[in-house]
């Protein structure tokens, strides 16, 4: 095949409304308001030979417009470039916006482009992205989070947990971190009773405990045989997480809020978790995520990527150790396709690339859009 070149890059800001305002522990501790929407930055890249790739990043509560503006400022550097040179193109865009750093919002803006380039490359090869990268498995264990938020009553959480298990989900995660620890224990006990002793159960405190509270709550929750306790402490408290990892029998999971490879390296080097939870859109895309997987595997860590199952399913399938992928049905309205779950696992789609296309509804939710280059 002759050398191809990028012809155009379309950037779109799409606001996904949530049916019900969502609350985790950060709302109940007064640090955030309930979440009512998620803002996505989509990148659609087209080549001279007619290949197309799609990628996305996202922001919850704030930052979406800034991600869009940053991507708009630097993305024209892709026009005329060979789309196969993903690592080189990522570095080029990083330098185009170097004055605002290589983490946080600027990194997240580039993630949509990086993911789109990988999607395009897999489509050129006629392969699902997992197969292009080199999969260890054709399906990944999956657990559900979207039914376990604190705005829902225990009875609602129990009902949704039962429904998820019936739909082929392999584990249930519920939110904790309420000011009243006894209520956390009551909710966890109720869900454990509903799903039985053999179903994996996880809890997520969303960074709302201090060190002493996390230790006490971790010990109180050990009777429920949890698969992990997620984000018990502030995301940047490496030492505190390391102490919990050494002290508690229950595995500690964290990492979703970190916004660069360097931040994850510090977490990994500090032996601060048993299960690492990177988020490809937050760390800069698939190029960066693959680097993290290498570090995590060298340390013997388990992997459970955060959110964005449409991307993370493919990446988790490539991890040498048996991983988890987080099932969220929030994003379903954005795409024409659905990911299939069966016997506790999410199946790698046979469609090329990520295997997703934007829905007409997503197009209608677009608030801003720009095309760089020509079509």
- CA dist 76 and 70 (Å) reads 11
Q: To the nearest whole percent, how much of the chain has pLDDT over 70?
A: 99
Is the predicted pLDDT of residue 2 greater than 80, yes or no?
Answer: no
Query: Which residues are known catalytic residues?
Result: 175, 306
56 touches 43 (CB < 8 A) = yes
Q: At what angle do helices 86-96 and 64-74 cross, to 10 degrees?
A: 110
130-347 folds as TIM Barrel (3.20.20)
Q: At what angle do helices 211-221 and 238-247 cross, to 10 degrees?
A: 30
Helix (H) or strand (E) holding 303: strand 302-303
Average pLDDT, the chain: 94
Q: Which residue's entry shows tokens 């949704």?
A: 160
Predicted TM-score (pTM) of the model is 0.95
**344 — alpha (psi -120 to 50), left (phi > 0) or beta?**
left
6-126+360-373 folds as Enolase-like; domain 1 (3.30.390)
Give residue limits of the domains in the chain.
6-126+360-373, 130-347
Q: 107 — phi, psi (to 5°)? A: -65, -45
The neighbour count for residue 65, using CB atoms within 10 Å, is 14
pLDDT, residue 28, reads 86
The model's confidence at residue 32, banded by pLDDT at 50, 70 and 90, is: confident
Paired tokens of 364: 């209608």
45-85 residue pLDDT tens: 999 999 999 999 999 988 889 999 999 999 999 999 999 99
**Sign of the four-CA dihedral 143, 235, 278, 55:** positive
- CA dist 97 and 107 (Å) reads 9
Paired tokens of 325: 């992928």
Is the predicted pLDDT of residue 155 greater than 90, yes or no?
Answer: yes
pLDDT, residue 1, reads 54
Q: Where are the beta strands (DSSP E) in 6-156?
A: 6-22, 35-47, 52-60, 139-144
Q: Compute the average pLDDT of residues 200-226.
A: 97
What are 228's strand-pairing partners? 202
Is the predicted pLDDT of residue 288 greater than 80, yes or no?
Answer: yes
Pick 101 or 237 by higher pLDDT.
237
Paired tokens of 165: 């298990």
344-357 residue pLDDT tens: 999 999 999 999 99
Contacts of 7 by beta carbon, 8 Å cutoff, 6+ apart:
46, 47, 48, 79, 373, 374, 375
């Amino acid at each position: 095949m002759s050398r191809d070149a990028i012809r155009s890059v379309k950037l779109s800001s799409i606001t996904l409304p949530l049916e019900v305002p969502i609350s985790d522990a950060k709302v109940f501790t007064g640090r955030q308001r309930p979440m009512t929407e998620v803002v996505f930055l989509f990148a659609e890249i087209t080549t001279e030979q007619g290949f197309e790739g799609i990628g996305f990043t996202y922001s919850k509560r704030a930052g979406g417009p800034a991600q869009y503006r940053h991507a708009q400022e630097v993305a024209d550097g892709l026009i005329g470039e060979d789309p196969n040179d993903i690592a080189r193109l990522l570095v080029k865009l990083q330098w185009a916006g170097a004055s605002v750093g290589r983490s946080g919002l600027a990194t997240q803006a580039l993630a949509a482009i990086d993911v789109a380039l990988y999607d395009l490359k897999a489509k050129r090869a006629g392969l699902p992205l997992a197969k292009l990268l080199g999969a260890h498995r054709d399906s990944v264990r999956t657990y559900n989070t979207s039914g376990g938020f604190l705005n829902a009553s225990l009875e609602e959480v129990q009902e949704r947990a039962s429904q998820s298990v019936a739909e082929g989900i392999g584990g249930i995660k519920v939110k904790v971190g309420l000011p009243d620890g006894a209520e956390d224990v009551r909710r966890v006990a109720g869900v454990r009773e509903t799903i039985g002793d053999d179903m994996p159960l996880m809890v997520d405190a969303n960074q709302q405990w201090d060190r002493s509270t996390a230790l006490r709550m971790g010990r109180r929750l050990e009777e429920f045989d949890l698969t992990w306790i997620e984000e018990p402490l502030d995301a940047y408290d490496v030492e505190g997480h390391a102490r919990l990892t050494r002290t508690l029998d229950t595995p500690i999971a964290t990492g979703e809020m970190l916004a660069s490879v360097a931040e994850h390296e510090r977490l990994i080097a500090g032996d601060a978790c048993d299960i690492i939870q990177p988020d490809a859109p937050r760390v800069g895309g698939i190029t960066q995520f693959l680097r993290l997987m290498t570090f995590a595997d060298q340390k013997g860590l388990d992997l459970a990527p955060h959110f964005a199952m449409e991307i993370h399913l493919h990446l988790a399938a490539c991890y040498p150790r048996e991983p988890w992928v987080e099932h969220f049905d929030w994003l379903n309205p954005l795409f024409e396709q659905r990911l299939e779950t069966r016997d506790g696992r999410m199946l790698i789609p046979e469609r090329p690339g990520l295997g997703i296309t934007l829905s007409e509804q997503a197009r209608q939710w677009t608030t801003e859009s720009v095309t760089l280059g020509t079509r």
